[in-house]
Amino acid sequence: MIPFFGEAAAFTAAFAWAMSSMIFSNIGGKVGAQTVNRGRLACSITCLTILHWVIEGQPWPSSVTWEQFGWLSLSSVLGLVIGDAMLFQAFVMLGARLSMLLMSTVPIMGTVLAWFLFDEVLSHQEMSGIALGVGGILLVILMKKGRPVGLEGRNYVIGILFGLGGAIGQVANLITAKYALIGGYSALSATWIRTLVAVVVMWGIAIAMGRARRTIVACTARDVGKWLMLGAFIGPALGVWLSMVAVQNANVGIASTLMALPPVLLIVYEGLVLRRPVGLQAVIGTAMAFGGVALLFLT
């Protein structure tokens, strides 16, 4: 086994998710959040089918119980349909960095929810991690400098709520999907089924509302289609696969912490590459949020 193979996979997954969030944020501003979400799902199922064929030896899962399919379908609706619809709206309103920072509340929400639902005992380190993470995110949200241009007051609050809604959808997605994965069912197969359900639901809604043709035209435009496919391949396909490789080959706590890096990578990208004013408060708040997540995972 190559030394630090799992850790390298985890960091690469974080880098992939950061890149895909930037791509989706940029094209979402051109054609609309939900248009990008529908197009992204169509591209994702294509990429996942190829990935499933290469890794599992067949293009789609051959066996799944009705109970597993039910849990995966519920997970898909809560996470990929409702949660991602909110996240993509946050991408357009807030940008990739702040949206991904809000998504870092997922492990915090999951830990608190497990405390309430499953009577899991929180250690002092976990409680410190929750406090540090929430404090860091609040520090970034409440700052004035570095907010998207023209987004103030009510619209800024709505953008934050969309981002938190995306995080809540992801938590619900993880909890419901967990029941389907009991017994060692392939995570890649589960991802394929969840994505297919989301494609059927999202495109079914688009057809019912008469928006399917407009979505196809927008997503196949030269300056959108190639970026949409690239983002779908980098994030939902490559990123998901690398995350599974990371969990299989590295300590889960270390791998999960590395995979929580996208907000940190995005703040570096905005400051050094785009030359946008980020502000010391944003840097400190993002570092606090990442530190809080690290405390949770490295317990």
Band (pLDDT 50/70/90 cuts) for residue 299 is low
In this model, does residue 1 exceed pLDDT 60? no
Contact status, residue 83 vs residue 170, Cβ threshold 8 Å: yes
Check if the beta carbon of residue 195 is closer than 8 Å to that of residue 236.
Answer: yes
| Residue 198 pLDDT level (bands cut at 50, 70, 90) | very high
Q: What is the pTM of this model?
A: 0.78
Query: Which contacts of 80-84 are long-range, i.e. CB under 8 A and separated by 24 or more positions?
Result: 80/41, 80/173, 80/194, 80/195, 80/197, 80/198, 81/198, 81/201, 81/202, 82/165, 82/169, 83/165, 83/166, 83/167, 83/168, 83/169, 83/170, 83/172, 83/173, 84/37, 84/166, 84/169, 84/198
Q: Looking at residue 253, what is its pLDDT?
A: 60
Q: What percentage of the chain carries pLDDT values higher than 90?
A: 11
> Which of 297 and 8 is assigned the larger pLDDT?
8
Reported as a pLDDT band with limits 50, 70 and 90, residue 206 is very high
List, in sequence order, the alpha helices (H) in the chain: 5-31, 33-56, 66-76, 84-94, 96-103, 106-118, 124-141, 153-181, 187-208, 212-219, 222-232, 240-249, 252-258, 262-268, 280-297
Q: What is the mean pLDDT of residues 193-211?
A: 92
pLDDT at 118: 62
pLDDT at 280: 77
150-196 confidence digits (pLDDT tens): 566 778 889 889 999 988 888 888 778 777 777 777 878 888 998 89
Of 75-79, 96-100, 210-214, 230-234, where does mean pLDDT reach its minimum? 96-100
Model pLDDT for residues 244-284, shown as the tens digit of each residue:
677 667 765 666 677 777 887 887 777 766 667 677 777 88
pLDDT above 70 for 116: yes
Tokens standing for residue 148? 């998207």
Instruction: Write the pLDDT tens digit of every residue in 41-55.
Output: 888 898 889 888 988
Task: Determine the pLDDT at residue 73.
Answer: 93
pLDDT in tens, 57-93: 898 888 888 898 999 999 889 988 998 889 888 888 8
Report the percentage of the chain scoring pLDDT > 70.
88
In sign, the C-alpha dihedral spanning 123, 163, 243, 139 is negative
